């Protein structure tokens, strides 16, 4: 069977709904103030009810927590605060029983400086793991782009007194970069993937893919083709589990991002669409669909078996680095004007409800748009109830406060005594809770559940091709076509009423409302309320 004609079930990610969470901030089951795997397992039914089909876990490995778990000391273990390997397997089994696949963060571009490999590597050039890392006798010059955390790190090179050499670290000093051009490192990466696949995982979210490639090239120039690393990993996953995915973090312009799927779709299965995400925010602040329409129209076609992943908010700062300086300043001024709302000169450390001043109609329009765009939607925990951030938490962790379950002590996150210290503090305003919104028929949570259900019933959005429909400035109208079926979506970015005429010669005679019960006649003027949105199935 050709790749083009593979069964839909083999490409489950085409119509998935992804939900990202951090185990330590989701639910504390034992009262120590830190979320754990037992707590997550207890909430699998909640995720199932929400409509989640793919659960993405942020790092849960043993770590000194210099970078919220992305500094790893054991790729084969579970942080003892969160549980055991047995608890992990039980969580995966429970998720699978509900039809939810589980993927996890795959962070193989660096380790913690406490990792046994690095501790061995420091002992000298002949040490067993010395070549697992990137060393230099002289400190190379830095490029501005080399430092991921400007203001916190001054250089991507650090001196090690014991090794008497400089080592490369793209992120924090405490995160030495692995030499991914070394075949022994690549073998270890494959073994790590194989270990977790054997425990039931459906794939991995690969951290900072472009940096991973650059490090391969920098470490041993010419000895390994950088993209071979991802191609080999994808082939290995496919041999071990045919439907396993590689979801990549690739924050690059579209033509560059396309390279990471591979010419034949043999590298990344999916990648986050940062270009669309950033254009969305520019359109929001301008109340003009133009910036978003421009990037959607210019998006290159992907290989057949690959997919883009759409999101409103990720777990890091809201990066706006693909915008021009003036465009970024425009978004900053509208959505995060205070210096403590901004980070690294490129992003915002706020969640959407705060940025939009709690305007629920506007919030719903944004999520309606995200779920209606072709690709796979991804949610960050708490988005379904409109959680806000806590700017008192340093840096990008401001959006990673504990999940808000109820009006009980600690917002139902932990049974710890009053006054006990949680893994992170709650936002001052934590009234938005799952329990409270479940009791309100028109709450954001109940609306989101209905929206997700409708999205899963519209495979045209996961499999189809996008075509923009001519519309006035504040309105984005588009159609997705797949197997002689069509879904049309219309969104008003403006705080005033707007109208659009959906063509009567679009190949349809009827437009059936998929969100409410207000069908529309093709060719007639369609009026949208301020920040209004409509989905139709054309027939």
Neighbours of 223 (CB within 10 A): 11
Alpha helix (H) residue ranges in 122-169: none
Residue in the block written with tokens 């960050």? 380
Give the N- to C-terminal CA distance of the chain in Å, as an integer: 31
Quote the CA–CA distance of 185 and 195 in Å, as a whole number. Answer: 15
**Buried (b) or exposed (e) across 410-447, using 16+ Cβ within 10 A?**
bbbbbebeeeeebbbebbeebebbbebbbeeeebbbeb
Query: Is position 249 annotated as part of the catalytic site?
Result: yes
Neighbours of 513 (CB within 10 A): 13
Give helix 274-286 / helix 290-298 axis angle, nearest 10°: 160
Neighbours of 361 (CB within 10 A): 13
Sheet holding 485-492, edge to edge: 465-469, 475-482, 485-492, 533-538, 511-513
Kindly give the pairing relationship between strand 18-21 and strand 376-380.
parallel
Quote the CA–CA distance of 138 and 159 in Å, as a whole number. Answer: 10
493: closest CA among 479, 473, 469?
A: 473
How far are the Cα atoms of 279, 349, 437 from residue 319, in angstroms, in the given order? Answer: 11, 9, 30
36: closest CA among 3, 82, 73?
A: 82
Quote the CA–CA distance of 328 and 339 in Å, as a whole number. Answer: 14
Kindly state the tokens that stand for 125: 């050039």
Kindly state the tokens that stand for 418: 């009053």
**In a 3-state reduction of DSSP, which class is residue 424?**
coil
DSSP tag of 313: -
Residue in the block written with tokens 């571009």? 109
Assess contact for 138 and 92: CB atoms under 8 A.
Answer: no
Kindly state the tokens that stand for 312: 């409103």
Assess contact for 124 and 163: CB atoms under 8 A.
Answer: yes
Of 22, 207, 383, 389, the active-site residue reads 207
Of 249, 267, 317, 481, the active-site residue reads 249
Using CB atoms within 10 A of its CB, is residue 192 exposed (0-12), middle (13-18) or buried (19+)? middle
Integer-rounded Cα Rg, in Å, for the chain is: 23
Which active-site residues does the annotation give? 207, 249
């Amino acid at each position: 069977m050709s790749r083009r004609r593979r069964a839909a079930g083999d490409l489950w990610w085409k119509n998935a709904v992804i939900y990202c969470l951090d185990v330590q901030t989701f639910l504390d089951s034992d009262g120590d103030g830190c979320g754990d795997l037992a707590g997550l397992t207890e909430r699998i039914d909640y995720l199932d009810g929400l409509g989640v089909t793919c659960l993405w876990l942020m790092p849960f490995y043993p770590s000194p927590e210099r970078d919220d778990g992305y500094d790893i000391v054991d790729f084969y273990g579970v942080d003892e605060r969160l549980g055991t390997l047995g608890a992990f397997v039980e969580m995966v089994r429970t998720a699978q029983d509900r039809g939810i696949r589980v993927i996890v963060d795959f962070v193989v571009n660096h380790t913690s400086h406490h990792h046994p490999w690095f501790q061995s590597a420091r002992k000298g050039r002949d040490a067993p793991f010395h070549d697992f890392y990137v060393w230099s006798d002289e400190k190379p010059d830095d490029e501005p782009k080399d430092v991921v955390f400007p203001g916190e790190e001054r250089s991507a090179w650090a001196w090690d007194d014991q090794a008497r050499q400089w080592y490369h670290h793209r992120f924090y000093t405490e995160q030495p970069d692995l030499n991914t051009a070394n075949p022994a490192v690549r073998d270890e990466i494959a073994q790590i993937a194989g270990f977790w696949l054997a425990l039931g995982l459906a794939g991995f979210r690969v951290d900072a893919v472009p940096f991973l490639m650059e490090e391969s090239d920098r470490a041993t120039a010419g000895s390994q083709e950088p993209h071979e690393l991802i191609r080999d990993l994808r082939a290995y996953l496919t041999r071990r589990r045919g439907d396993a995915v590689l979801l990549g973090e690739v924050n690059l312009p579209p033509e560059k991002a396309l390279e990471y799927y591979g010419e034949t779709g043999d590298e990344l299965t999916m990648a986050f669409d940062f270009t669309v995400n950033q254009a969305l925010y520019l359109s929001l602040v301008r109340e003009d669909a133009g910036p978003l329409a421009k990037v959607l129209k210019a998006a290159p076609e992907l290989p057949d078996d690959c997919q883009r992943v759409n999101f409103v908010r990720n777990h890091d700062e809201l990066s706006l680095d693909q915008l021009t300086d003036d465009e970024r300043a425009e978004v900053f001024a509208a959505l995060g004007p205070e210096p403590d709302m901004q980070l690294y000169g490129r992003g915002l450390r706020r969640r959407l409800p705060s940025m939009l001043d709690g305007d629920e109609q506007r919030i719903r329009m944004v999520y309606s748009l995200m779920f209606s765009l072709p690709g796979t939607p991804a949610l960050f925990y708490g988005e379904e109830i409109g959680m806000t951030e806590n700017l008192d938490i340093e840096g990008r962790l401001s959006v990673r406060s504990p999940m808000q379950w109820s009006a009980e002590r600690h917002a139902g996150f932990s049974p710890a005594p009053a006054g006990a210290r949680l893994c992170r503090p709650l936002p001052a305003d934590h009234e938005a809770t799952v329990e409270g919104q479940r009791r309100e028929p028109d709450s954001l949570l109940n609306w989101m559940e209905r929206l997700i259900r409708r999205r899963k019933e519209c495979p045209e959005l996961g499999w189809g091709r996008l075509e923009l429909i001519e519309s006035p400035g504040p309105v984005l109208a588009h159609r997705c076509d797949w197997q002689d079926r069509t879904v049309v979506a219309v969104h008003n970015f403006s705080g005033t009423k707007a109208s659009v005429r959906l063509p009567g010669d679009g190949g349809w005679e009827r437009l059936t409302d998929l969100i409410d019960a207000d069908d529309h006649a093709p060719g007639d003027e369609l009026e949208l309320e301020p920040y209004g949105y409509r989905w139709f199935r054309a027939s």
